[in-house]
Structure 1
Amino acid sequence: MNKIYNPTQQEWEEILRRPTQSVSDIEGTVDTIFNEVKTGGDVIVKKYTTEFDGAILDELLVCPEEIAAASKAVSDDLKKAIQLAKSNIEKFHAAQKTTRLEVETQPGVQCWQEKRPIQKVGLYIPGGTAPLFSTILMLAIPAKLAGCNKVILCTPPNQFGEVNPAILYAAQLCGVTQIFKVGGIQAIAGMTFGTESIPKVYKIFGPGNQYVTVAKQLATKYGVAIDMPAGPSELLVVADETANPAFVASDLLSQSEHGVDSQVILVSTSESLIDDVEKEINKQIKKLPRAAIAEKSMANSRLILVENDQQAIDLINEYGPEHFIVCMQNEAFYVKHIQNAGSVFIGNYTPESAGDYASGTNHTLPTNGYAKQYSGVNLDSFMKSMTFQKISENGMKNIGNAIELMAEAEGLQAHKNAVTLRLNSIKKQE
């Protein structure tokens, strides 16, 4: 990791730069595959599944027999762990339900807001080196709580055309409607346009690599919404001498093992803490099965010493981390003043891994600085707010003249006339 001591604010942009390719480096490939899938459907999806995943598929849809076999292949202990996580995630997201909001803005003018589920949603679940079955819980559970009618899932198969058993088990446990053996750009394109097998959806959810992220952004050009631009994972820890260096190092390594383009950052007011964490990283990384990935990720990462809490929080808000861990004596200061973060973890015994799996919060979060303007996935992500209004004769009398005056001032005579006709009708009845 790169050590940086007391950087000036002018240096922040450079030292906080993410190790991601620009959209222009990727969009040509994404455009090509999108255009091919749009016209070629399943044939093209299968072609790219063979090219990128090495799998030759007859069918894209996972059949019931495969799901049944997967359930048997998952250990009872893992099933219990998944069910515990499911229970906590359901509790937290069910608590986010809101009731109808109703207001009488003027006598006789009733306005209210109700929420409706998005009818068709698509979930993208990364496979590859880390099959993220936990992400299914984070997406399918709120989708079902929201009442989405169709919840489809795309995930890349291995070279034998198989999907990880835990992914299939979690998907059926959480009520996914259909599961497809499709990953990468071709999966996003399939859910965007629809193919002979894959239904077109209204909104796409889920993390992925940089190609998937750009593909999701391109999907919005074709009338499909997305949860957020969620690319390579990242973590920022702020810690001082009250933190446990071994804990901090383990948290940094937990994110670095996601992929070579992941980024982790430690910000500290204590130089000795930085040194101790660095020693722990070098010690712990040797024991990781994914050490090679973590080592490459660490090359993108930073250990930053700052002078005080205010400088630390200003730098952190400028970065806008996906995950933010606070291990500071003055933790209340950071909780109060953090403005830009996807999810916040407080104290020495709150690892980021808890949010990834089983505490109940959602782990599908904005990356690459998008925490400055995007929320993480929540129950409302799967719903739309609709407004309603009903105006009585008395209500029209109360607001009608204001509408007429405003419409006339904007030069929209038909708008004014729609009100004038009603007011005249009311006068005739009186």
Structure 2
Amino acid sequence: MIVLWSGVFFGTLVATNTEKHSLTYIYTAFSKPVKLPGIHEFTAMGLLDNRMIDYYDSTVQKKIPKQKWMEEQLQQEYWDKGTQSRQSKQQWFKVNIDILINRMRQTTNETHVLQWMHGCTAKEDENGNLTFVRGVDKYNYDGDDFLSFDDGHQVWVAAADEAVLTKRKWDDVTALKDYTKGYLEKECMEWMKKFLEYSKSQLGNASRPDVFVFATRAKEKTNAVLTCLATGFDTKDIILNIKRNSRILTADDGVKSSRVRPNEDNTFQRRDYVEFLRTDSASYSCEVVHQASNMRVVKAWDNRLPPLEEMSIVLYVLPLVLVLVLAVLVAGVLIFLQKRGKLNFKRPSPSINGSSDSSSKGSSNGSSNGSSDSTPNSSEPLMNGSSNGSSNGSSNDSTAVPLNGKYFLKCFFKDPLQRKPYFCVYF
């Protein structure tokens, strides 16, 4: 089984801050259904600043919003067209997986996976203007880099020997290279700008972060570790400070940070910590500033130190010892009372008819009204994955334009005026 997601293929996703933004789309397709919970034959999602904004899978086969502002700001027509686009992508992926399996002489008994990520990164100045930084358009097959687009030189780069054939084929399609570059540098940027504007409408209702300050044991017995945890905030633009007597501590003071990380409920968290002497009598506090929504939370440490290791062992063992001693005393008293004849245990006499109201041996005809001998059949939902698996060829015609403006199928009109015939580019 192939481990999916960010570890290898999606390591290129940027860590955002107040100056950088990213819009990325990620697609994952398996060669056959994977019978694991939460894993679908095909999935697609959009991420703004690494936060999911839309989602599609081959089971539901519908593009849905993952942020409230996406649902509120975009009309139903956007989601309907998005659903059609994702369904077409699903078929395009299925054709290409079959091509790669044959090219690499692999068996269909094994599960193979093809992934695609494309998007753009921008820098925002103090006036809110976005400037294109870079674009990414890359493919991954069975966990390894396969093919990527060099936006600067406008060529495809093969990361594997089996990708050379695809590289040569796609380099010969000028329309594909032009459209890929145009999408990354212009269309992607336009959508990013819209989405950022839409998301700002939610900032006024941003969730107030929960802040926790606590101390834990350090490796050195004379020290303790003070941790400041902020969690549950909606946007990643956050400042977290650990203060000692109102002075902000920095990395020079030994402060370390987990940086902003996602929670399961689409919010974020950040954890900073610093080691200090247990004998330190200074006042420590945690300050969280959420600039986008003008929120500021300050929470002081309650000066509670964790018990030393020896003390913690005593605290764990002592209750067990007390329970054992109490159990021995109770057992001893019971034995003493029984020997003195103070306790008399008698077995209950058997029932005359041999039945009990709390149990049943079944009816005489051997049937029950509340059960059935047969269980209903269950079946998994069928995937719409049929395709002819063929390509209409390729062309060097530089005047070709995207079919209906759709890049997802990599299909282009040879004659833009007549809008027919068209060709599709596969691996």
Relative to the length of structure 1, the TM-score reads 0.21
Higher relative contact order (CA 8 A, sep 6+): 1
Larger Rg: 2
Task: Please state which structure has a larger fraction of its residues in strand.
Answer: 2
